[in-house]
Structure 1
């Protein structure tokens, strides 16, 4: 009998996939609990020392879960945090989750399979799954929602037990197989390869909620939107949503090469951090924060004629004070993360006296993910994937993101043996055009798998 991976890669029909036994173990990128203190007192917490690839036991799916053969995944900054064991080791999240009892106890293990993106094929469905079938091609939302919490029925992200899959749960996407709740599933866009599809869900959904959703900044036509880290995964999608929605994106980058990336995404107004003197974390010097903010504000007004209506924030401590200062009177700073530090410092006078608002935003609920995916499936939003690594080199991919040497998203091939597989609508792909499907592919900060 052929193995399940051979059958999947050979295009076996659903009935054959169901007949083949699941493997008892599979390869996965994981962290070990025994390594949690390895970076204590170390300046450079190099994730290549903590991210390991090796066999792990296959978990049993709960009744509301499916088993997905992961063809590809990608690197998000939460995987970098996990591998640095910051701000706390994620094993504490797994222990906390396990206290719920029942199926949650599976997650408390001495290893943590990480990764919060994935694209692949359903190979098993739990007894309670109705809307999905074996053989379906899917992408996975990272929002792990408790549907028995009342708040979840107002907004899936409001439940106290909502978790980030592969960060606050085990069995993440950087593996050959994963188990996910049926409420995490979204149809894979047919014109994308596995690695392209796997690069979208977390960052694109997060950016959509922050800017477009009625739970975010509620961007409208003509809005000026300042996007920090605009050449990264989140920023690349933010720029597209602003442009598509009739807004004016202003991208902030750290180099001229990254400015070229933004122009490829249709962002005409690009500002290099050196232009306004942002060279590091200025939060310890409030006067310097305001001075840098004034310089940035002058540049923005020179180029678009007015202050930003919205600031798209995810950098955190190093930029947050500037964001609060530079956004217009009555404007919005929307934030979803803090890659440079969580303890934000800002001059509150510019918030309260100018009636500005700060909105916290986290991932996206399932409806927002489906709306995001619809735009991607139509070709209205392009993948920001730039580099592709094999699973065996996931630690190098993580290091690329950790040191900010990447652009867009860095994909990881899991079960897919090579890039370029998984397209089921070649006609749509040809109609959209290769350059528009993946415009950042030529801007890779690291070599693609085919060049290794």
Structure 2
């Protein structure tokens, strides 16, 4: 049996104490993009770029373990939009990030390689820890958030997201989670929620933490009870968590979706006010260069019909170019538009009169700091927020999984099995699971 096979068997047999005595393999399988293929999609529109052509499953060397770091045996991971961006080399090739990181120190030079092991989520078991790690040990069951920081400068010590060397693990660093082994900083680790399977536990990390900071945290919109929250893509990876946080926090979500099936998912989560944008026929752009303010007005009127005449206190933005003009218009006077992404395009246009004359605010929100990630994971562990996993793929089929996300042919989050041989493994707290099984399965088979 291979060294990885022995590690896998120890985990599957719940012999976690044996993990420390097992050798760490010299190589492992990881999902990669290749530096010499960074130009493979030149001349193609984004929608025509196929992650199945650029994502590979390669045998790669296990990286050197440095101070404050941990090697994790990855049982499962998940697809995020940053994996799609990596796979289609947009807006830039991630090898530029790795080159820049490689210049930081002799240790970070490890990340500057002709291949990039991708992935910003994981659930798994700690294999080894480097010098200076005291809170984690081999055999611990963990999930990882994706904030990678150095914290050698002053800027990050109030909010680690402001660290001058802040990066997203598996996107702006190498050795990510779509692999059998991953390298993380120890302060990325959090306890695996015991009532979830490996694939369920792996799926919330990035999007759950992002939604928490963007909507709940004082660093984001600082949502309060009674706030009307307009949520774009409310059944998607980010929006599904925003919907849960709004309901949990006593706010009033207005969920924007694109089909009756997605509307039904939001109802399962407990939302009542739903806009099917395709059924309503909203077209916010007349053509490639000009938006249609009349459509903004029609959209705002629909929101007020649902809320009894109230405009949104908060707009939860992430589509970007396609929706941003409507978002700025729709927010109430003094309201907040909080944005964390631009999946439909990075160059936004909006009518600034609606912003400045109505005293609205635009807040940029990017992932979450360690404290926010810990709080978001704590809510998952307590069964107050649920994973939104809809489908799980094998490591070999990661390209197809990324394509589904690229084409928006998915619901919630898409999982990927690594060392876990099948779905349904890793549950420790069966009583809590049974209590919340409907919430856990809300996105399954939709």
TM-score (norm 2): 0.96
Within a 5 Å distance, the mapping from 1:117-128 to structure 2 comes to 117-128=121-132
Tell me if structure 1 keeps the 8 A contact 2:259–2:279.
no
1:373-396 CA-partner distances (Å, limit 9, x unpaired):
111111111111100111111111
Selected match of 1:92 from 96, 103, 108: 96
1:57 aligns with 2:39: no
**Aligned partners of 1:125, 1:285: CA distance in 2, in Å?**
53
Selected match of 1:243 from 247, 266, 269: 247
Tell me if structure 2 keeps the 8 A contact 1:145–1:183.
no
Aligned to 1:221: 225
**Aligned partners of 1:84, 1:24: CA distance in 2, in Å?**
29
3-state secondary structure, aligned to 2:42: coil
Offset at 1:149? 2.2
3-state secondary structure, aligned to 1:102: coil
Aligned to 1:339: 343
Structure 1 residues 284 and 410, CA, compared in 2 at 3 Å: closer, same or farther?
same
1:300 aligns with 2:303: yes
Contiguous gaps of at least 5 residues in structure 1: 444-452
Structure 1 residues 52 and 259, CA, compared in 2 at 3 Å: closer, same or farther?
same
Offset at 1:155? 0.4
Contiguous gaps of at least 5 residues in structure 2: none
1:36 aligns with 2:38: yes
Aligned to 1:450: none
Tell me if structure 2 keeps the 8 A contact 1:282–1:318.
no
**Aligned partners of 2:394, 2:217: CA distance in 1, in Å?**
34
Offset at 1:237? 0.1
**Aligned partners of 2:284, 2:12: CA distance in 1, in Å?**
47
1:172 aligns with 2:149: no
Tell me if structure 2 keeps the 8 A contact 1:196–1:438.
no
Structure 1 residues 400 and 281, CA, compared in 2 at 3 Å: closer, same or farther?
farther
Tell me if structure 1 keeps the 8 A contact 2:284–2:295.
no
Aligned to 2:333: 329
**Aligned partners of 1:215, 1:411: CA distance in 2, in Å?**
29
3-state secondary structure, aligned to 1:39: coil
Selected match of 1:373 from 362, 370, 377: 377
**Aligned partners of 2:237, 2:93: CA distance in 1, in Å?**
24
**Aligned partners of 1:343, 1:4: CA distance in 2, in Å?**
47
Offset at 1:53? 0.9
Give the aligned CA root-mean-square deviation in angstroms.
1.3
**Aligned partners of 2:380, 2:79: CA distance in 1, in Å?**
19
Structure 1 residues 100 and 409, CA, compared in 2 at 3 Å: closer, same or farther?
same
Tell me if structure 2 keeps the 8 A contact 1:286–1:347.
no
Aligned to 2:202: 198
Structure 1 residues 257 and 386, CA, compared in 2 at 3 Å: closer, same or farther?
same
Structure 1 residues 282 and 149, CA, compared in 2 at 3 Å: closer, same or farther?
farther
Tell me if structure 2 keeps the 8 A contact 1:281–1:319.
no
Tell me if structure 2 keeps the 8 A contact 1:192–1:422.
yes
1:85-124 CA-partner distances (Å, limit 9, x unpaired):
0001000000000011221000000000000011100010
Within a 5 Å distance, the mapping from 1:390-409 to structure 2 comes to 390-409=394-413
1:129 aligns with 2:133: yes
Aligned to 1:271: 275
1:150 aligns with 2:144: no
Aligned to 1:5: 8
Count of residues in Structure 1 that have an aligned counterpart in Structure 2:
440
Tell me if structure 2 keeps the 8 A contact 1:233–1:384.
yes
TM-score (norm 1): 0.95
